[in-house]
Amino acid sequence: MKKITLLFITTCLCYMNGYAQTPFWSDSFEDTGSPSSGTRSAPSAFTTNTSRIFNITNDAGVSIVGAGVVGNSYAYIGADGTKFWAGEDTDNGQTITAANVLKTVTWTINISGKSNIKLKGLFAAGNTVGNAYENGTASSTGVFDYMSMQYRIDGGPLQNLLSFYPLANLASGLFPDNDFDGNGDLATLPLSNIFTEFTGDVNGTGTTLTLYMNMSMTSSAEEVAVDNLRLVEVPLASAPTDIALSATAINENVAAGSTVGVLSSVDLDLGNTFTYTLVSGTGSTDNAAFSISGANLQILASPDFETKSSYSVRIRTADQGGLSFEKAFTINVNNLNEVPTDLALSATAINENVAAGSTVGVLSSVAGPTCRLPQARILKLNPHTQSV
Using CB atoms within 10 Å of the CB of residue 140, give its burial: 0 to 12 exposed, 13 to 18 middle, 19+ buried. Answer: exposed
Return d(Cα 348, Cα 376) in angstroms, integer.
16
Domain shared by 328 and 179, yes or no: no
Our count of domains for the chain comes to 3
Q: Answer yes or no: is 186 within a domain.
A: yes
DSSP state of 306: T
Q: Pick the residue with more confidence: 374 or 350?
A: 350
Q: What is the CATH number of the domain that holds 143?
A: 2.60.120
Whether 201 is in a domain gets the answer: yes
- Which of 199, 233, 267 is the endpoint of a domain? 233
166 plus 123 within the same structural domain: yes
For residue range 320-340, list pLDDT tens digits in order.
887 888 877 777 888 887 667
Question: Of the candidates 202, 233, 264, which is a domain's last residue?
Answer: 233
Judge if 268 and 314 occupy the same domain: yes
Helix (H) or strand (E) holding 99: helix 98-101
Q: Alpha helices of 195-309 — where are they, by DSSP H?
A: none
pLDDT of residue 369: 53
In whole angstroms, give the CA distance from residue 96 to residue 217: 10
- Whether 322 and 224 share a structural domain: no
| pLDDT score at 379 | 46
Confidence of residue 209 (pLDDT cuts 50, 70, 90): very high
Q: Which pLDDT does position 158 carry in this prediction?
A: 98
Q: Is 248 exposed, middle or buried (0-12, 13-18, 19+ CB in 10 A)?
A: middle
Residues 325 and 360 in one domain: no
Distance between CA 87 and CA 55 in Å, rounded?
7
Which CATH number do you get for residue 10?
A: 2.60.40.60
Residues 9 and 85 in one domain: no
User: Which among 325, 328, 118, 142 is positioned nearest to 229, based on CA atoms?
Assistant: 118
**CA 304 – CA 289 distance, rounded (Å):** 13
Domain membership flag for residue 83: yes
Mapping DSSP to helix (H, G, I), strand (E, B) and coil, where does residue 195 land? Answer: coil
130 pLDDT band (50/70/90 cuts)? low
Domain boundary residue among 209, 233, 257? 233
Do 70 and 174 belong together in one domain?
yes
74 within some domain: yes
Q: Are 50 and 87 in contact (CB under 8 A)?
A: no
Same domain as 317, residue 174:
no
- Asked if residue 388 belongs to a domain, the reply is no
Of 117-126, 199-208, 224-233, 370-379, minimum mean pLDDT range: 370-379
Q: Are 98 and 218 in contact (CB under 8 A)?
A: no
Q: Give the closest residue to 316 by CA, choosing from 283, 271, 344, 349.
A: 283
Note the pLDDT of residue 9. 37
For the chain, the average pLDDT equals 83
pLDDT confidence of residue 386: 52
Q: Distance between CA atoms of 192 and 282, rounded to whole angstroms?
A: 56
Residue 367 lies inside a defined structural domain of this protein: yes
pLDDT at 68 over 60: no
Cβ atoms of 6 and 247 closer than 8 Å = no
Instruction: Supply the pLDDT for residue 348.
Output: 78
Using the predicted structure, report yes or no on whether residue 92 has a pLDDT greater than 80: yes
Range of the domain at 288: 3-16+238-334
How many whole angstroms separate alpha carbon 86 and alpha carbon 42?
A: 13
Residue 285 lies in a domain: yes
Q: pLDDT at residue 6 above 50?
A: no
3-state percent helix, strand, coil for the chain, nearest multiple of 5:
5, 40, 55
In the chain, the N- to C-terminal Cα span, in Å, equals 36
- Looking at the structure, tell me whether residues 200 and 273 fall in a common domain: no
386 domain residue, yes or no: no
Same domain, 204 and 292: no
Report the length, in residues, of the chain. 388
Is residue 152 domain-shared with residue 136, that is, in the same domain?
Answer: yes
| Residue 46 phi, psi dihedral angles, 5° rounding | -155, 155
Residue 276 pLDDT > 70, yes or no? yes
269 and 316 assigned to the same domain: yes
